[in-house]
Structure 1
């Protein structure tokens, strides 16, 4: 079976029903100290009759509740039939000295609470296949809005319009010279299956052009995840990819993009080019497990790096599931 990372994993965490063998999960987490220990890892989802079992390294860490699993079974069963094993992000909490008051038994001294990140069923996989040409898939990041130019009622747009109102697609990014009245400007053009959907804003394009050009200079196609919403009246699209400055050197090395020929390099944009981005996090770079200045960032709400809400809570070590919208200013 080939591993397949389900898409849309910025969705809410789904609590799992506890596994039968909690001591095996305790050993998986790897700590024997009393109190609370947590493990974050990739988990595979296996169809077991009418149930969905979540496993980490071959150990069952929980079951997706039946009332939730029923809507996911057709999609995941189809993926399994194609030889693809669905994989999600899991959070596993183990308590050695805790027992809820409403527990149905005295317990064995170990309590397991597991969650998996799971989007809506129609957002688990893309609507189209990846490009057949040589390509590089850019790391997923905050969603950036595309100025859509394609006619939503056209034949080209029909495959993207879904009954649920939204769907993920593979999209390719291209450096494009845009003609203005008296001059030209370079922007990032977004295509889906060779159909031009639109462009990123000029300010936002500056953040992606260095990486787009660098990948194109190697003879490969820069590919990202795109989310299309709408109907035959109007379409909206966002591209979920990291900006050039956010991509790690390790990722560049792993994708053979650390050559010294300078291909695709352009001057870094001034942060004032994009007032929305500049105001998103007044404290500086987004904090994160691998982000600059993460150790110095105090716990609190900051601009959400996943783009799900205005702000997400940083606990001093990692992003949490707590989100909120910024209060509107009083008039």
Structure 2
């Protein structure tokens, strides 16, 4: 505890090691708690049994599991409070453990240079229901999981308004976005780190079943980040070389990629407000015409009430984006003109 130990009670907080002991003669599920290689206690047996296998997996990979702990020590009379009676040093140790399935994130960190934002208050990720086809790969029996998500600036401007938000992705797949108000609190950091050549990573909290999912982002906002984080070495997560849970985003055959990459462009937009069914119908008609003009493409156009994705000719991309903005404002003129022009021999 150091020279400033207070006999009435002192508390220190530090990182401790959790070391499974399969050869322990008293309990093969024992998990020791160590500080600076000194044994300072054991996890309660009922907790140790839950964590033992997962901790062993980490140790077998050459890793040392660590957690924050609070250590409190105080002098305690051996028998009573009479002056001069010998005392014992009493110690209580509380380790900050969640649940076994939350020891590690459910996915691997990015393969590109990145840094992980510090923990922060939880904020909701919106439009998650539109991407359950991706999130279903992360559903676990426990119903919850921590994910490493990447944050990206995207433009959702329309013909009338200019707007940028933070898109949330996992394994390169879009899974939602932050609201404009919340995005404004993260975008300065996302832009700053991008200028340093780093992708911004945050910890996502995923709750899901076989039919629905929710995602929250637990990361510090731009104004909460210390200078040492913004200018220092990247903060990274341990990679365990686990396989991807989702298909590679935009995977195409080599032959198809060679034939289309040079002349097509993928439009991937998020609407600033939900499309009506009629607007969805008009947008899909527009994108099918664009796909027809592009010829042999590798994916069909996708239109939901809030997202649009299609492969189009490079030279048509700007015109189609403007037509989509018009549809969002219930102005179908550009879309109709494009379809008419495409249909002419």
Give the structure-1-normalised TM-score: 0.63
Structure showing greater relative contact order (alpha-carbon pairs closer than 8 Å, 6 or more residues apart): 1
Counterpart position of 1:304:
none
Cα deviation for residue 220 of structure 1 reads 1.5
Q: List runs of 5+ in structure 2 lacking aligned partners.
A: 23-28, 235-345
Change (3 A) 1:199 1:93: same
Cα deviation for residue 136 of structure 1 reads 1.2
Counterpart position of 2:145:
167
Q: Deviations over 1:230-279 (max 9, x none)?
A: 113211001111000000112223138xxxxxxxxxxxxxxxxxxxxxxx
The structure with the greater share of residues assigned to strand is 1
Counterpart position of 2:274:
none
How do residues 241-252 of structure 1 correspond to structure 2 at under 5 angstroms?
241-252=219-230
Counterpart position of 1:194:
172
Q: Deviations over 1:22-44 (max 9, x none)?
A: xxxxxx45545422011100011
How do residues 131-280 of structure 1 correspond to structure 2 at under 5 angstroms?
131-151=110-130, 153-154=132-133, 156-180=134-158, 182-255=160-233
Paired residues in the alignment total 225
2 CA distance for matches of 1:100 and 1:65?
26
1 CA distance for matches of 2:125 and 2:46?
36
Aligned residues: CA RMSD: 2.3
2 CA distance for matches of 1:59 and 1:191?
42
Change (3 A) 1:181 1:150: farther
Matched, 1:42 2:21: no
Structure 2 SS opposite 1:85: coil
2 CA distance for matches of 1:34 and 1:137?
40
Structure 2 SS opposite 1:54: strand
After the TM superposition, which of the residue ranges 228-237 and 142-151 deviates more from structure 2? 142-151
Give the structure-2-normalised TM-score: 0.61
Cα deviation for residue 148 of structure 1 reads 3.2
1 CA distance for matches of 2:101 and 2:75?
38
Counterpart position of 1:64:
43
Structure 2 SS opposite 1:62: strand
How do residues 17-56 of structure 1 correspond to structure 2 at under 5 angstroms?
28-49=1-22, 50-56=29-35
2:193–2:230: 8 Å Cα contact kept in structure 1? no
Counterpart position of 1:97:
76
